[in-house]
Structure formats: C-alpha cells, structure tokens
Structure 1
Amino acid sequence: MKFENTLGFAQKLDGQDPLRNYRNQFYFPKVDGKEVIYFTGNSLGLQPKRAQKFVDEVMTDWKELAVEGHFHSDKPWWDYHERLAAPLAKVVGAKTEEVSVMNTLTVNLHLLMVTFYRPTAKRYKIICEEKAFPSDQYMLQSQVRNHGLDPDDALVEVKKREGENFWRTEDVLQKINEVGDELALVLIGGVNYYNGQVFDMETITQAGKAVGANVGWDLAHGAGNIELKLHDWDADFAAWCSYKYMNSGPGNASGVFIHERHLNKKDIPRLEGWWGTKKETRFLMKPEFEPMANADAWQLSNPPVLSLAPYLASLEMFEEVGMEALIEKRDRIVGYLEFVLHEIDKETDKATFEIITPKDRGTQLSVFLHGQGKSLFDYLMKNGVITDWREPNVIRLAPAPFYCSYEDMYRFGQILKKGIQTV
C-alpha cells in the first residue's frame, strides 16, 4: 500500500480497520481535556473498560459469600486461574495444559530456573543477550552465584556487532556452538525491550537443543505482541508479564509455559507448594506432594483472584479478535508510523531520525534522535503524546493495535514536527 502523510488518508485507514471499535473499549488518559496519543503499551497497556466488571464480580462475591466464594461463586476462586489457560495457550502457541498463571515475571523465572538450570562441573554456562533487561541480569547472576559459580565465567553474552543496533541470528548460533557441551541453558528476551527486535526463537531453540542445553524465553515484550509457537518450537519453558500488551493492570500476574514433556513428573526438580498438588487430594492435607499433571504443578499458592480478574477480562478480548487479526493491524500501523517518521524527517532540518529497530519486529519502533535531546521528549509529553525515553537518546513508540488509531500516527507526526521546530 502506498501511504500518505495526510489526515484524510489516516482517517480512511481507520474507516477500513476491522478493529476500530475496540479503541472505544479502553480508557485513555487526557491532557488538556483531550485523549492522549498512547505509545507505551509496551510498558503498561491501557485499562479495558470491561475489567471493572470482572473485578466487581469478585468484590461482590467476597462481600456476599466471604470464604464460600472459593467454591460457590459464579467463577469459583479455587480454580479461577484455570479459566485463563486456554485463551493464553492460543496467544503463546501452546497446549492448554502447558500454561499456567501465577506470581510475577521474575519470580516465575527464578522458579523455572530451579527446574531448568541444573549445572554440573562440565555443563554450567548460560547464554543470554548483551544488556538484557536488568531484572533478567540480576536474576541470572543470583542464580549462578546460588550454585557457587562465578557470573563472569558462567554467563556468556551474545553481543551486537560493532556499529550495529541489533543482534544477528548467526552470531547467536555461533556462540551456542562455541560454548557447546559446556552450555546448560539459553535464556534470552524473545523481543528486546530496548530496540524492539524479535529474535528467531525457533532457530535459536533448535540450536540450543542440538548441543544438549535447555532453552527458555522471557516474553515480557512478546506475549500479545507477536506470533508465538512455543510448543512447536520445542522450547522448554517461557514466562511473561501480563500488563504490557495484554492489558491486565500494573504489576499483574505472570504467565508461564512448560513444555508437555516436562509435565506429570513427580521427581522433576522444582520448588513446590500447596496449589501445585492434585486438586482431588489438595484438601485432604496429605504430607506428600502429588503434582498436578499440567503446568499448575509449579504453582505455590492459591491464585490472586483480584489480580486475575482484569487479566481474564483482557483475554476475553483476545479470544474475540485473535492474534492473527492483531498482528495484521500491528504490521500496518507500525508501517504507517515508520512512514510518518520518515516524512517528518524530510520536512525538518534540525534532526535526523534513526530507527534502530530491525525489520524483525513487533509493535515497537525505537527511534534514536540525532541532534535532539530529552527536551523533545518533554515537549511530546506536555502535548499529549505518552511515549518512553531511554538513554542516551531513544524514544520508544509502541502503537498497540487494540486501541491505537492511524489518525494517532498522523497527529503524532504533526506534534513531533512542531516540537522539532520549537525546542
């Protein structure tokens, strides 16, 4: 499609958008009485209007039933989390039994490392990407130290090439083969938080498995954003947060994937708790742990129902729309945003935009601002564009397809142009 940087063209695209009515199903912050242009769904998705109803249901059941809500509410609390598994499995390309919801992301990564990072004297190294998200770095370092190992020796980072802003798949594969039979685990962020790059997860997973390592993925920026086929790719495990592209609310519960070959094993190493034991015997208070036959065996405690309620509300929308439709709009709206950026760049002489996100991308474009500092970011924020700043000079733009419009992209370009001319 040949794009045009005009209001009329943007409105035409919106008129053709089959998802356009979903915009009205979210609450937008306002600046000077006008809805903002919201580009930070990669940090915190907007609140779905239907989330309040799901939370109110739980609050009403708590008020009217108290403890009996565990078993006698319309959506009983004791198995509330099970309602999320089937729709989540479709989002991440898994079987329903391979998915569970519990805790938060880094907590879950730590729990999964207990199972999937079992270093030996020979095989103890972990491959990750250079400058992974800080929480992943801290988690990996502490896990390695907990095994009495030196992070400087055990952690192997795959670096970007000099002068490049992205990782090359061949460099990841080379590093996997180089570490070889010393490699215990590959754990990489499937979508990089800084530059928005989508890693070739299928190829990297196959390479890691070929040398005898376990392979896991941090999908904080992947779930609800890109096509995932975790079961078919043969990943051992994955975890993701739910508050970014999945719109479940700040700091909300994390999802996990554990491949079916690891399920229904009583002797597999893991940390265990009451809610991971069989439902049929859970309330017999038996001293012996009898694991659930699915990913719920990794649960420790009863589900945080008030947190899961807005997650379930959001997943209802994912069920209605489907990932295929979301990805189709994502590609078009990100492509239009990229076009608008280049057009504005041509029209100004004070700045040059360098889009550091490669073509292997999801919803996010990371834009390096040559010749402009944080004053431009501040101008955008004051003028109703909610975006994200990352040092040294990058703004991250994530037009989430559920609620961002093509007119947003055009309006952003005009505000950006004025900002460049003003600051």
Structure 2
Amino acid sequence: MNDKLPEGPLAPVICVVGARPNYMKVAPIIRAFASHSPPIRTLLVHTGQHYDPAMKDRLFTDLELPDPDVNLAVGSGTHAVQTAEVMKRFEPIIEQYGARAVLVVGDVNSTLACALVAAKRHIPVVHVESGLRSNDRRMPEEINRILTDQISDVLYTTERTAHANLEREGIPAGRAVFVGNVMIDSLRASLAKAVPAAELLAAAGLDPQRIAGGYGVVTLHRPSNVDDVRTLGPLIDALRQIGTKLPLIFALHPRTRSSLERFGMLDRLDTPGFLILPPQGYLEMLGLMSDATMVLTDSGGIQEETTALGVPCLTIRENTERPITVEQGTNTLVGIDPRAVIAAADNVLAGHGKAGCVPENWDGKTADRIASHLSAWLLEHEAAQAVET
C-alpha cells in the first residue's frame, strides 16, 4: 500500500479491480483519467478476490496497468464471506483517502461489495458495463449486476439494449450513458503485442505444426459447466469429437482441472485432438484467439473479444448477458447439449461461421468518453452538493 497519494486539490476517484476480467476494463480508464485535461486523480484498489501473484503481475505488465495503490488481499471464500470481507476491508480505505467517487466494473463480488460501501457513505457510485442481463438469477453475477446498477449514480453501458433493461428495472434514463465497450480499448491497444499461438505451443514443448492447418481455442470454467460430472463429461466428449476434425488448444482453468481430477476424467484430455496449456496471460490469449478458426467458451468477455476480432465464437451456455455479440457479432449461443456443440462446430468448419460486425462504439475510444463525461458530471454533482450545504 502506498502511504500517501500525490498531492491534489480533490480526493481521488477510487477504481476497483477484483478479478482478471476487471483488469482489462480498468487499465484504459486509468490511462484516460491520467491524460484527461485536467487529469482525474485516481486510487487503484485491488481487492484480491482472485489473486495469483504471478498471473496478477503478468496481467498488469501486459496491460500497462500501474501497481495497485492498495491491495485488500481478500482471497477466496463463499459468496457471502467474500463480499462481506471486501466490504470490511474497503471501508477503511475510503476513510483514509476520501473519494470523489467509487468506480466499479463488471459483475464480480468485489463490484457489488465496494458499490455497497460507497452508496451507504453517500459517495457516488460509477458502474462501467451496466445494464447487461442474462435473465438467469441462478448466476451470482446476475445478482451482482442487478444490485450494483440499482445503487449506481452513473451507469456506463456497452450496448444500447442495456438501456431497455435498466428502464424496465426502474432506473432513471438520465443515469445511463452509452459509451461503448472499454474491454475493446484494451484489445485494440494490445493486439500488436499479442503472442502467436505457434510460439506458445513451442514454449510448452508442443509441436506448432499440429496447428498448421488451423485450430480452435477452448476455455471452460463456469460452475454450471464444470462442477457437475453429468454436464462436464459429455462436454469433454463432444470436444474430443471436434478435436478429430480440428486441433483444439485448451487453456485449462484450475477449476476445470480440479473437477476432471475429482471425477477421474483427466485422462480424457490425453488425445491427439487436444493441446493442453495452463491458464494464459492476456497477450497470450489474445494471440490464441486472433488466429483461431473458432473459439468454444463459456466466458462472457471472450464473447466480446471474438466479436471484435471477427472470429466465430461458440458459447457453451444456455443464455448470455451480451446479446449484441449474437445479434451483430460472431457469437452463436449453442447451449450445453453435446450434439448441438458438435453441430455448431461442424457448421463453422463447413465455412458457415458468423462473420458479424463490430458493434457501435467498440472503437478503442470508450475510456476517453468515460473520462470526458465523468469529469463534467463530477463537477456538476459537486457544485450541486455545495449549494445544498
């Protein structure tokens, strides 16, 4: 923790990261705030919700994200324990440094926890990536999204359909601002530095010639897909069948590996169709996806990244909170029926994968729009508060 921030006339905007997807969203915002005229002073807080020191350092370097000013080091736990622990450790940070606003991104537990602390202390809450809905409340992320939006003062959206969701939930239209997708800012800024798939395979001791004719990328990590043997087993078998037609680079998430070991199914990955890699850094995943024939995933962020890259994406879920990737982009929602997954992959291999288009305002300039709007909003809000007092 830094003992003291650079001197400034105003308290900082506290920017919160808690898990890997948050880094890609906050990195361009921090840069845009620093380059804005006048600069917007920030305090970067890492809650440590998902914390692997090696991966954290790698991602921060890849994204040119400064080291956190504060690390709460919360670690893992049940949803209730983790959310409560973030709240307990975050409130003293506000007391120590003050806050013009608390900016949270996405839908992880840290997002809701820090938003709750700020709202109860009457500090403006700024939510980046507001209004996304899967309409599946069995997903903990859906609960986090809904509740964070309800207590936010400024809601920045990635797609215009999000505004209908917010309006339906009774949130005044004036709070929501369509700015675009800040994750795509990171993607566009980093694409030239992406690590090619062949280089990654060679470093892992795998033969790059195995992907000379094309390859797919697989990521699976959602509890609904990997925690139940009745779901995971058939999905792995479906992927094995696809792997007989197209080599699949499988970036194996620790949760998925643990489930495969627990179910006695890890040996099912021992097949020529799979090239198994450990979890990858941001530039490595970007390189894998950018040259892939297709991506098979249950990740929300990857749905957006593949749409921006123009790569067909098969989402192994029953729903998505990012419908624009299906309606305009390259994403196909295939569900979890193994036969549907195989059929969708065959469709791509037959040359019928979605071409799609890049959605409006996914142009690499979203963070600049956020900085411009928020700077003006804060001045207006603070002037109104001064009049009231």
Task: Report the TM-score when normalising by structure 1.
Answer: 0.34
Instruction: Specify which structure has the higher proportion of helix.
Output: 2
> Higher relative contact order at CA 8 Å, sep ≥6: structure 1 or structure 2?
1
